[in-house]
Amino acid sequence: MATVSDIGLSAAINVSMAVAFLLVFAFLRLQPINDRVYFPKWYLRGMRDSPVSSGAAVQKVVNLNMRSYLKFLSWMPAALKMPEDELINHAGLDSAVYLRIYLTGIKIFVPISILASLVLFPVNWTNDTLDSMKVVHSKIDKLSISNIPYGSNRFVTHLVMAYAVTFWTCYVLFREYEIITTMRLRFLASEKRRPDQFTVLVRNIPPDPDESISELVEHFFLVNHPDHYLRHQVVYNANKLADLVEKKKKLQNWLDYYQLKYERNPSKRPTTKEADERQKIMKDPQSAVPAAFVSFRSRWGAAVCAQTQQTSNPTVWITEWAPEPRDVYWNNLSVPFVSLTVRRLIVAVAFFFLNFFYVIPIAFVQSLASLEGIEKALPFLKPLIKIDVIKSFIQGFLPGIALKVFLILLPTILMFMSKFEGLISQSSLERRSASKYYIFLFFNVFLGSIVTGSALDQLKAYIHQSANEIPRTIGVAIPMRATFFITYVMVDGWTGVAGEILRLRALIIFHLKNFFLVKTEKDREEAMDPGSICFDWCEPRIQLYFLLGLVYAVVTPLLLPFILVFFGLAYVVYRHQIINVYNQQYESGAQFWPSVHGRIIIALIVSQLLLIGLLSTKGFEETTPVLLVLPVLTFWFYKYCKNRFEPAFVRNPLQEAMRKDTLERAREPTFDLKAYLANAYLHPVFKGGEEEDNMSISEDVGMEEVIVPTKRQSRRNTPAQSKYEGSDTLSLPETVHER
């Protein structure tokens, strides 16, 4: 149980570390030698020149301009200066909406923190309930609801506060959902031409003994979408080739060396497996998987196809919006569609057991992070932990850092699970991993820490009490677990965020690569490694703070200022990173926002249900009907927002599609859309070969551009063969012949 001095020592340690990280970053970012580490986004766009390339030898490494050091904190106002519209043009809508999650936290918790400090602090503090009970507590716990006497009328204040928190949170969420929906629609309407606007992904194409996948796709869409079908790109299982390309990329320096070595004598030039594997894939019909990217002449045609059922059998010719080319996760396109259900079942079972068994080490960490647990596990340290400074360090800093270390590998495990499920885009992989991570944090970090931590803290009280008194002790102990979450917020939310801007790992790796491996400008660009937002683990971490803030806003409002510091610091830091560092690999148009909104709603409902249970243990059961209204109203609000705003995130309005098509035809009547989409959805490994390989690939892939006669026999209505078989005339509707 952390005391005031323990929290104070933890705050001093974390504030010192956070300030140190920020000061070191402010110094390192001014050095020319580190310019590519802290401003890689501008280099990748060709909008920044290296300061190392000119000047004296010392000036290439160290910044000798003393005036620049006087403005070492200028990065903060610079990060806040860029307007949101300019930020969207610079970094994309995903990045801008991601920042609005932090802004939403600030909007929700600033008024709640002020109201709680003015109302709940005096109500909670002016009691002596904890002093009269035989429970382990500290002075800091007197600010929580645990210090209210059993059955006291003061709980009415907490009841009113619960209503205030609910209505204010719903109001902020509604306004944000409305703003972000408008931003998305405006972004889609003003966005330049993109291949995914004209393309759908078709999966589970039924096999046909008479035609190849390419011929089958072409004939199906010429028949069923004769006025809008433009072209298609069959998906190939190129995973083995992708491995070879990745291996080549890693050995690029050696490849350049041998190319220089043998360019004088081409006859001795060694052949590579890569070209052979390419030709093998393109010539083998078995390499084509029953999926294809089908492009249309207009956005309207693509929208109709993506949002309708193609045949009477809903399990074949399944269409969905194609991800943008950068967003496609090519490895999973070769996964058989029929196996997806089985894969997801396997992942669901594995994730359940991962959650279940992770409770054991979480409880172990909680036990070691307490004085009693350390004395029991390591009795020889008993004299050492009696020292006040060490005792405060253990109780105020160790629990948070132990939990953070324990969760390091979890995002990687969850991403592997999501990839095994067969999702076909990077954005969907990150959203699915984020969902799993949030569930894990909810059950193991939040509920697990509350249950195991409370049990360990009050173990002596449980042993010496009757069974009837245990619920009351639990009701007192749970609010006091806020001290543990305060230490975790300071470690993860203060020091962790400050460490993010320092980019120590990226800094070390860049200089090691630059010193030992970099030989060309391309190598130097790859060594920069700007990274991205990492939505799969960053967003669930934010949601944990929403959960903690909403749950403890009425119960232990002392936690709120610590959470507010996190939201404010993170907003500034990540805005700077998005402007100068992160190079987002895809653009989903903020499709993750409905999930973010839903998880905040879940946190709000959980806080209401926990308050109902808590007051029932405090002798205030008569308020249960009044409090039960809140979850009902909150769920109704969620359904209203879902019906009102979510369609804009999952469908493309036909009206908007037609409007953009009409405007483009008027402005660019001669634009060659077919050439624009020619290689948009060609697997990247087919684009990275040598010139002669690319020529042969384009010839093989381009065979789908020619309309071919159907080879299918007419078995449906008559046993005789089609009269058009083998002829130059297609067995297609007259509209196609006329076109």
SS in 3 state form for 597-651? Answer: HHHHHHHHHHHHHHHHHHHHHCCCHHHHHHHHHHHHHHHHHHHHHHHHHCHHHHC
Q: Which residue has the tokens 């998305």?
A: 184
Query: Which is higher by pLDDT, 323 or 525?
Result: 323
**DSSP annotation string for 383-452:** HHHTSHHHHHHHHHTHHHHHHHHHTTTHHHHHHHHHHHHT--BHHHHHHHHHHHHHHHIIIIIIIHHHHH
Using pLDDT thresholds of 50, 70 and 90, give the confidence band for residue 498: very high
pLDDT higher than 90, residue 638: yes
DSSP element (H, E) containing 165: helix 155-190
pLDDT at 348: 94
Count Cβ atoms below 10 Å from residue 285 Cβ, excluding itself: 8
pLDDT at 713: 56
* Cβ neighbours of residue 364 closer than 8 Å, sequence gap 6 or more: none
Q: What is the tens place of the pLDDT at every residue in 134-175?
A: 556 667 777 788 778 888 888 899 999 999 999 999 999 999
Q: How far is CA 586 from CA 83, 244, 306, 384, 646, in A?
A: 22, 24, 20, 53, 21
pLDDT higher than 60, residue 381: yes
Provide the β-strand partners of residue 425: 328
Answer for the pair 293, 233: CB distance below 8 angstroms, yes or no: yes
Q: What is the tens place of the pLDDT at every residue in 652-680?
A: 888 888 989 999 889 898 999 999 998 88
DSSP element (H, E) containing 506: helix 504-516
Q: Which own/partner pairs from 24-32 qualify as long-range (CB within 8 Å, at least 24 positions apart)? A: 24/502, 25/501, 25/502, 25/503, 26/72, 26/73, 26/75, 27/69, 27/72, 28/502, 28/507, 29/75, 30/63, 30/68, 30/69, 30/72, 31/61, 31/62, 31/63, 32/59, 32/60, 32/61, 32/62, 32/63
Please give the average per-residue pLDDT across 362-377, as a whole number. 63
Euclidean distance between CA atoms 176 and 102, whole angstroms: 12
**Farthest CA pair distance, the chain:** 97
Domain spans, the chain: 4-192+338-651, 198-323
pLDDT higher than 70, residue 712: no
Q: How far is CA 393 from CA 11, 23, 369, 406, 449, in A?
A: 10, 24, 10, 18, 19
Q: What is the tens place of the pLDDT at every residue in 456-489?
A: 555 555 455 555 555 555 555 667 678 888 888 9
Q: What is the tens place of the pLDDT at every residue in 95-116?
A: 999 999 999 999 999 999 999 9
- Kindly state the tokens that stand for 573: 């830091």
Query: Which is higher by pLDDT, 324 or 7?
Result: 324
Using pLDDT thresholds of 50, 70 and 90, give the confidence band for residue 710: low
Count Cβ atoms below 10 Å from residue 277 Cβ, excluding itself: 18
pLDDT higher than 60, residue 727: no
pLDDT higher than 90, residue 549: yes
Please give the average per-residue pLDDT across 248-272, as a whole number. 54
Sign of CA dihedral 17, 18, 21, 24: negative
Euclidean distance between CA atoms 397 and 363, whole angstroms: 17
Q: Which amino acid is at 254?
A: W
Of 515, 373, 528, 359, which is closest to residue 445 (Cα–Cα)?
Answer: 359
Q: How far is CA 137 from CA 63, 129, 130, 294, in A?
A: 53, 11, 7, 65
- Beta-carbon-side half-sphere exposure of residue 136 (alpha carbons within 13 Å): 18
Q: Where are the beta strands (DSSP E) in 452-561?
A: none
- Beta-carbon-side half-sphere exposure of residue 268 (alpha carbons within 13 Å): 8
- Kindly state the tokens that stand for 541: 């971490």
DSSP element (H, E) containing 296: strand 288-296
pLDDT at 724: 38
Of 285, 158, 311, 264, which is closest to residue 211 (Cα–Cα)?
Answer: 285
Euclidean distance between CA atoms 289 and 683, whole angstroms: 13
Euclidean distance between CA atoms 136 and 668, whole angstroms: 75
Provide the β-strand partners of residue 318: 203
Angle at 152 between CA 151 and CA 154, to 5 degrees: 140
